[in-house]
Chain A
């Protein structure tokens, strides 16, 4: 699986507000999903994961929602902070070693 990152959609959020980043996944057989955060010049950082037997999972300030009916994944970040500014992308996996990565969304936090 490949993702194209030529023009990333950008989400601008005021500091302190909640952020919602969306991902439409491609394979209906995918049963495991990961959200990554990638800051400039750094590697993708694991944020949170969810398996298909769940539709919601919460972490520290983050929540992932999974809607298998429409093949949609979202990442909610509560009380967005300047340090949350990064590119966020999802990854899907259907039980093999191949992960399909989403195109990514750039989150900009406005002071």
Chain B
């Protein structure tokens, strides 16, 4: 099992640029989560998908953030335009059922917006 796969591992961009983060969940998992981790706020849930459908996007900071899950094996998180305060580590996680199930994280994308 390859686990949750994220790309890129590191992204450095300039303010105003579009950033797209990618995630491949564990095969067979029907729940996918995007989290953001910072020193100040720890892990924050951005959006939760179940069976490719966004269930809760209340954690998405602003309209600059959007996420899609076109199929069961792929999701993207897009920031457009990016700002320096978006700098953080973004994690994708997946689980079998989404409720009270083992939650597995990817290696994360370290985003730096200059």
Q: Which residues of A contact B (CB under 8 A)?
A: 1-6, 31-32, 34, 36, 41-46, 49, 51, 91, 93-99, 101, 103-104
Contact A95 B40 (CB under 8 A): no
Instruction: List B residues 1-56 near A (Cβ within 8 Å).
Output: 4, 6, 31, 33, 38-45, 48, 50, 55-56
Judge if B74 is at the interface, Cβ distance under 8 Å.
no
The 8 Å CB contact of A93, one of B38, B45, B100, is B100
The 8 Å CB contact of A2, one of B31, B44, B50, B91, is B44
A-B contact pairs, 28 of them (CB 8 A): A2-B43, A2-B44, A3-B42, A3-B43, A4-B41, A4-B42, A5-B40, A31-B100, A32-B100, A32-B101, A34-B102, A41-B110, A42-B108, A43-B6, A43-B91, A44-B43, A44-B91, A46-B105, A49-B102, A93-B100, A95-B100, A97-B48, A97-B56, A97-B98, A98-B45, A99-B45, A99-B103, A101-B42
With a cutoff of 8 Å between Cβ atoms, the chain B residues found around residue A36 in the complex are 105
Q: Which residues of B contact A (CB under 8 A)?
A: 4, 6, 31, 33, 38-45, 48, 50, 55-56, 91, 98-108, 110
With a cutoff of 8 Å between Cβ atoms, the chain B residues found around residue A5 in the complex are 38-42
7 residue pairs, one from A and one from B, having the closest CB atoms = A3-B42, A43-B105, A32-B100, A97-B98, A44-B105, A5-B42, A43-B107
- Of the listed residues B99, B100, B105, B108, the one surrounded by the most CB atoms of chain A closer than 10 A to its CB is B100
With a cutoff of 8 Å between Cβ atoms, the chain B residues found around residue A51 in the complex are 100
Known A5-B40, A43-B108, A97-B48; further 13 A-B contacts with Cβ < 8 A: A32-B101, A34-B102, A36-B105, A41-B110, A42-B107, A42-B108, A43-B4, A45-B105, A93-B99, A96-B100, A97-B33, A98-B45, A103-B42
| A/B pair count, beta carbons within 8 Å | 67
Query: Closest Cβ of chain B: how far from A71's Cβ, in Å?
Result: 17
- CA of A101 to CA of B6, assembled, Å: 21
